[in-house]
Structure 1
Amino acid sequence: MNMHISPNHSSGPVSRIWAKATSGAPGATSSDSASFEGAAALERALADTPDVRAERVERARGLINDGGYPPTETVKRIASLLGKHLDPDKAEE
């Protein structure tokens, strides 16, 4: 089997393009640089943040010890919502 390829146009010889030698990455300029100051500042802020917010823990303890938290009305509303969505066929005994 013979195969013949006939191009639609004539192509001339391939010529080399000689580029001026440059240092560094193509398109790089002397002002290209990475800046991580923002990330470093976030790391410092995270390190300075306490794991537990003591004022919130104290407020929660105060509310629980008060005896009125959560309010009775809130408990009744939650119980009502749970009762409306209770499926007796799926209830565990």
Structure 2
Amino acid sequence: MKRRVLCREFHSRAEAGIVRQLLLANGIESYLNSDDCGSVDPALAFARGVQLFIGEEDAALAEQVLAAAAEGGAGDGAPGQD
């Protein structure tokens, strides 16, 4: 099993899901973790946050992908696809 590391923390599951899909489109597997009573009380995510975890070996690539997306690069956010 891969060692997982915290990549980002979000205030909503929707926001975390968007970033997760961006990473997945670039071949990076990720996992969401939140304590919102099994989605019964989504407001708890505002207080406790939603964590996005990735495999330790994918950390450098994930940072590149997210940085490219933050800069407004075209495509799926992969580095070098402006």
Instruction: Give the TM-score normalised by structure 2.
Output: 0.23
- In terms of fraction of residues, the more strand-rich structure is 2
In our comparison, the structure showing a higher alpha carbon Rg is 1
Tell me which of the two structures has the higher relative contact order, counting C-alpha pairs closer than 8 angstroms and 6 or more residues apart.
2
